[in-house]
């Protein structure tokens, strides 16, 4: 397994030329990363500003804890910073970034303390745990208008197995192709297709059951 | 759980992949045709699409406090970057700079080598001296007279078995005469004056009792490269004491 912060390399990912490899040259983020590798620290700041929001949201979806998501966001960009000298533009920058973030999030979820938290929340054994991020609880009338609040959806999403959740969020929310998700999850496109479908089908069945 | 007809299984995952634009045009057309003729798959695809839209609408919008939180992370990250950049720079400098040469290390090694040669020569001489009236002990090598102050490491307790000055056997008339014992080496050292009590000779054991060494010795030892250096110094100390005693015996 490639190290979390390893720069994108098609050999390490085992996916030939790498998803988005042909487009890597035109990827503005890749150009920024190359500028950073060349010694321009402003390029790193620009990358952070472009990607911090989506990354924070993605990490929150994954670990379901605001403080942990912030820590992981910092760690994700620290890995980018540390890997600057070894960076090779063989895939889209975002694919690499999501790979780092996904590995960090999955590692965080596998920590014993987190795993206990995750299991008990999935089994509905505790109502005290932060399934919904603090300060984001929508009002009741919003619930009626939108039929499903983001809080409910967060809860449904949180109940999915972590790899299904990652595959669905990366694909549907963050807009990564299956090939890019496969790199991030270190699996095959076929597996990603199955993960996304199962996640989506589970959510659809739950929504249907509540109506 | 609802059982899926066998034919529909062939399209099941592609219903979702079609929503993500992950199918080839030909396969997308096949899926579309199947859904048009299969109410179950048509319903399933509609449910998947709705679930997908809910996920998108709920999760894509930024949080109200997102900017504040991102700025907080950015500040922390900036501090960590500065730390790591400094550390990298220090590493780079330590890699390019020549390793600092420790003063006196070469001198210790030279002294140790000379001392070992001298000790071997002395041991050889002592061995022959004990059996035959051989030649006088070799004169001390000049270097031995200028030895630095070696750490005085107390010898282990086992030294009591071979004291530096053999005791006279007590005369006990009732007891049978002692059996002849193998010739022992001629006492080399005269009885030491009380004010210059020699420390008991260290054994051949390489173990060093660091616990009982005084602070000055330990401080010296901490500057040595390896423990072996410390042992060598210990041997040099022994050599110096022997030499001194022998000189006194010769002059007296």
B125 plus B207 within the same structural domain:
yes
Question: How much is the pLDDT for B132?
Answer: 42
Q: Is residue B121 part of a domain?
A: yes
**B115 with B226, same domain?**
yes
Q: Name the burial class of residue A126, with classes exposed (0-12), middle (13-18) and buried (19+) by CB atoms within 10 angstroms of its CB.
A: exposed
Mean pLDDT of chain A: 78
Residue B159 domain flag: no
Is residue A41 within 8 A of residue A30, CB to CB? The reply is no
Least confidently predicted of B95-99, B127-131, B176-180:
B176-180
Taking only the tens place, the pLDDT of each residue in A134-163 is: 444 444 454 454 545 677 888 888 899 999
Q: Is the pLDDT of residue B194 over 70?
A: no
The answer on B119 and B226 residing in a single domain is yes
**Residue B141: which domain range?**
104-145+203-252
Decide: A29 and A92 in contact? Cβ < 8 Å: yes
- Let me know how long chain B is: 252
Joined together, the tokens standing for residue B117 give 């040669």
Q: What percent of chain A has pLDDT over 70?
A: 70
Query: B244 and B122 share a domain?
Result: yes
Tell me: ipTM over 0.85: no
Region(s) of chain A under CATH 1.10.1740.10:
23-125
Say which CATH architecture domain A140-211 belongs to: Orthogonal Bundle (1.10)
- What value does the mean pLDDT of chain B take? 67
Q: Are B233 and B125 contained in the same domain? A: yes
pLDDT of residue B209 exceeding 80: no
Interacting residues of A37 by C-beta distance below 8 A, sequence separation 6+: A84, A85, A87
What are the tens digits of pLDDT across the range A12-38?
A: 333 233 445 556 668 899 999 999 999
Give the confidence band of B125 by pLDDT, cuts at 50, 70, 90: confident
- Asked whether residue B65 is assigned to any structural domain, the reply reads no
Q: Do both B240 and B130 map to the same domain? A: yes
Confidence of residue B96 (pLDDT cuts 50, 70, 90): confident
DSSP A126: -
Over range B97-125, report the average pLDDT. Answer: 71
Give CATH 1.10.10.10 domain extents, chain A: 140-211
| Tokens encoding B121 | 């020569």
For chains A and B, what is the number of CB pairs under 8 angstroms? Answer: 108
What are the pLDDT digits (tens) for B155-186?
333 333 443 444 444 443 344 444 444 444 44
Q: Which CATH class is domain A23-125?
A: mainly alpha
Residues B213 and B116 in one domain: yes
- Contact residues on chain A for B73, CB-CB shorter than 8 A: 52, 56, 70, 73-74
Mean pLDDT of B15-29: 94
Domain assignment present for residue B133? The answer is yes
B66 lies in some domain: no
B73/A78 touch (CB, cutoff 8 Å), yes or no = no
Spell out which chain B residues touch chain A, with contact meaning CB-CB distance below 8 angstroms: 12-13, 15-17, 19-20, 22, 44, 47-48, 50-52, 54-66, 69-70, 72-74, 76-77, 80-81, 84
Q: Specify the DSSP class assigned to residue B160.
A: G
Say if B156 falls within a structural domain.
no
| For residues B28-52, average pLDDT | 93
Per the structure, the count of domains in chain B is: 2
Whether B113 and B47 share a structural domain: no
Q: Which among A179, A157, A180 has a CA at the least distance from the CA of A169?
A: A157
From start to end of chain A, where are the E strands?
Answer: none
Q: What does the alpha-carbon distance between residue B131 and residue B233 come to, in Å, rounded to a whole number?
A: 29
- pLDDT for residue A111: 80
**Residues on chain A touching B64 (C-beta within 8 angstroms):** 135
Whether B181 is covered by a domain: the verdict is no
Do B139 and B216 lie in one domain? The reply is: yes
């Amino acid at each position: 397994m490639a190290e979390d912060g390893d720069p994108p390399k098609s050999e390490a990912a085992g996916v030939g030329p790498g998803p988005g490899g042909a487009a890597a040259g035109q990827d503005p983020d890749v150009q920024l990363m190359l500028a950073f590798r060349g010694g321009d620290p402003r390029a790193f700041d620009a990358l952070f500003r472009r990607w911090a929001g989506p990354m924070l949201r993605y990490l929150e979806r994954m670990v379901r804890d605001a403080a942990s998501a912030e820590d992981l966001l910092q760690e994700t960009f620290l890995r980018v910073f540390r890997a600057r000298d070894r960076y090779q533009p063989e895939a889209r920058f975002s694919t690499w970034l999501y790979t780092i973030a996904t590995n960090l999030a999955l590692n965080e979820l596998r920590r014993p303390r987190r795993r206990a938290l995750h299991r008990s929340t999935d089994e509905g054994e505790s109502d005290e745990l932060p399934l919904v991020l603090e300060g984001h609880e929508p009002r009741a009338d919003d619930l009626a208008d939108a039929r499903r609040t983001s809080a409910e959806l967060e809860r449904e999403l949180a109940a999915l197995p972590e790899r299904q959740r990652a595959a669905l969020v990366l694909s549907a929310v963050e807009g990564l192709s299956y090939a890019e998700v496969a790199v991030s999850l270190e699996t095959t496109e076929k597996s990603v297709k199955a993960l996304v479908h199962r996640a989506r089908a589970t959510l659809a069945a739950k929504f249907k059951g509540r109506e | 759980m609802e059982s899926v007809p066998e034919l529909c299984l062939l399209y099941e995952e592609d219903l979702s992949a079609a929503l993500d634009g992950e199918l080839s045009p030909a396969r997308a057309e096949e899926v579309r045709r199947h859904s048009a003729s299969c109410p179950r798959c048509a319903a399933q695809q509609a449910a998947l699409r709705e679930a997908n839209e809910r996920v998108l609408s709920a999760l894509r919008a930024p949080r109200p406090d997102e900017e504040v939180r991102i700025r907080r992370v950015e500040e922390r990250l900036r501090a960590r970057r500065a730390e790591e950049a400094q550390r990298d720079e220090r590493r780079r400098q330590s890699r390019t700079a020549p390793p600092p040469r420790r003063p006196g290390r070469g001198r210790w090694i030279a002294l140790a080598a000379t001392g070992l040669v001298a000790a071997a020569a002395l041991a050889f001489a002592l061995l022959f001296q004990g059996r035959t009236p051989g030649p006088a002990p070799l004169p001390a090598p000049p270097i031995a007279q200028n030895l630095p102050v070696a750490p005085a490491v107390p010898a282990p307790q086992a030294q009591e078995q071979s004291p530096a000055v053999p005791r006279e056997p007590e005369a006990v008339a009732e007891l049978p005469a002692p059996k002849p014992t193998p010739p022992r080496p001629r006492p080399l050292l005269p009885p030491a004056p009380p004010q210059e009590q020699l420390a008991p000779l260290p054994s051949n054991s390489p173990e060093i009792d660091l616990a009982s060494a005084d602070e000055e010795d330990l401080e010296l030892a901490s500057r040595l490269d390896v423990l072996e250096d410390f042992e060598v110094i210990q041997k040099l100390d022994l050599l110096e004491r022997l030499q001194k005693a022998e000189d006194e015996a010769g002059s007296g």
